[in-house]
Amino acid sequence: MKILGIETSCDETAIAILECKGDEKHAEFIVLGNALLSQIDIHREYGGVFPALAKREHAKNLVPILEAALEEAELLHEDTPIIPEETRHKLSEILAREPGLSEAFFEFISECEPPEIDVIAVTAGPGLEPALWVGINFAKALALVWNKPLVAVNHMEGHVIAALASGNHVASLREDHDAKAALASSNHAAPPLAGSGVTDTLEIKDIEFPVLALLISGGHTELVLMKEWLQYELIGATRDDAVGEAFDKVARMLGLPYPGGPEISRLAEESRRKTSETLFKLPRPMLHDATCDFSFAGLKTSVLYLLKTRTDLNEREKQSIAHEFENAVTDVLWKKTSRALGETGAQTLVIGGGVSVNTHIRRTFTENIKEENPEVALRIPSAALTTDNAIMIALAGFYRAQRKEFKTEILANGNLPLAQKA
């Protein structure tokens, strides 16, 4: 089965093509083509992602990104297929909301034959709804003109499956894409895994259930239990700011550029190279609370109050604040995750989402699992799979396709939950 995945939930336009073999118990995935374009440079001046701009850029870049992925997969073949007028009319209706995309789409389908794709998977949410709609409408148009089934994917499920597929003990994807590359600030169309002719293989097998997932990103901080394949229960969640949001807000307080997470991490690591001690102490919100919920708004506010007493920070003080903030976040994440492991009896722990690329978080969890929970299998994604990529959408799409969860209509849902509390 060949699956084409499409991801447009935020500020990265991504398309990947995977050849999938096997079933839920043991599956192998070959990355045939993978193309991603980041919009970070465009949004940097706003200090965050501007939805209208994200939608515009997705519409402009989806066709070139598709062509790049198909070409890498050796599935791009020129031809002049005959498209019935009725089909053209339906396509026009689907793409009516995407004027920036429609012209390029019709030019593409008029010059290239349908590729050997079996299923199309697309992100339905969560994310920015204007951005999601562009990807969904593009996927619907492709499914119609190519006569292929369509599956909807929850973006957060993609992060879970990606972690299960790579993991810190299965470094199948090339690791030359470090934290900075994973959150690349360059606006280019060069796919992160393409260009070298190397074919990457991912594998999912011998998963021990239940699986506990810590999902940490700009919009999410959740502990989700996967009892069996694709059966989820929410164990804990943030009551206010997501962890990635807290990183970005603290970075702005320190005068650091967007995105703030890599900048905080850079300063913190510079401080750690000098000393394990910090000049300041910050609270660990809800650390001893009996639930598995999180709160980061108070931690952010503590940094704000600290800065009010330090109007002229030197570089050493900035580094130390970043160091202590990152320590506080990581302490809370580990404490809550450890509690959830004990309460659920989870045999596998995965960490997914953009913040999972953080060096200190990865290091701390790896060391703590080894020391405190050696019976638990820890899986953290390769750096290239922490960002909003299409490989993870294709991976999750495979499992949904296995269950024949094909859709004729998909609606964008910016707040689409992966799980509910029992």
What percent of the chain stands above pLDDT 90? Answer: 82
Co-location of 260 and 338 in the same domain: yes
Q: Given a cut of 70, is residue 385 above it in pLDDT? A: yes
Co-location of 181 and 328 in the same domain: no
- Can you tell me the distance from the alpha carbon of 168 to that of 381, in angstroms, rounded to the nearest whole number? 6
Co-location of 197 and 278 in the same domain: no
User: Does 162 reside within a domain?
Assistant: yes
* Mean pLDDT for the stretch of residues 186-202: 43
* Alpha-helical regions (H) of 34-154: 40-44, 51-72, 85-94, 99-111, 129-146
User: Does 150 reside within a domain?
Assistant: yes
Three-state DSSP class for 253?
helix
User: Does 50 reside within a domain?
Assistant: yes
Structurally, the chain folds into a number of domains equal to 2
Residue with structure tokens 């600030």? 185
Co-location of 184 and 252 in the same domain: no
User: Does 373 reside within a domain?
Assistant: no
Co-location of 41 and 74 in the same domain: yes
Task: Provide DSSP, 305-330.
Answer: HHHHT-SS--HHHHHHHHHHHHHHHH
Give the phi and the psi of residue 78 in degrees, each rounded to 5. -70, 145
Better-scored residue on pLDDT, 414 or 192: 414
**Order of strands, sheet of 119-125, starting from the edge strand that comes earlier in the sequence:** 150-154, 119-125, 2-7, 12-22, 26-38, 200-205
CB 161 within 8 A of CB 392: yes
Q: Is beta strand 119-125 parallel, antiparallel or unpaired with respect to 150-154?
A: parallel
Co-location of 133 and 102 in the same domain: yes
CB 104 within 8 A of CB 392: no
Helix (H) or strand (E) holding 344: helix 315-344
**Which residues does 407 contact at the CB level (< 8 Å), separation at least 6?**
150, 151, 152
30: domain range?
2-206+385-402
Co-location of 215 and 310 in the same domain: yes
- Structure-token pair, residue 149: 């089934």
C-alpha dihedral, 403 to 29 to 62 to 122, nearest 10°: 20
- Structure-token pair, residue 378: 């820890």
- Can you tell me the distance from the alpha carbon of 346 to that of 319, in angstroms, rounded to the nearest whole number? 36
User: Does 376 reside within a domain?
Assistant: no
Co-location of 184 and 219 in the same domain: no
Residue 43 confidence (pLDDT)? 85
Co-location of 19 and 34 in the same domain: yes
Co-location of 36 and 159 in the same domain: yes
> pLDDT tier at 170 (50, 70, 90 boundaries)?
very low
Rounded to whole angstroms, the maximal C-alpha distance in the chain is: 70
Residue 33 confidence (pLDDT)? 96
Q: Tell me, what CATH number does 319's domain have?
A: 3.30.420.40
Co-location of 44 and 8 in the same domain: yes
Quote the pTM value: 0.91
Co-location of 139 and 257 in the same domain: no
Residue 100 confidence (pLDDT)? 84
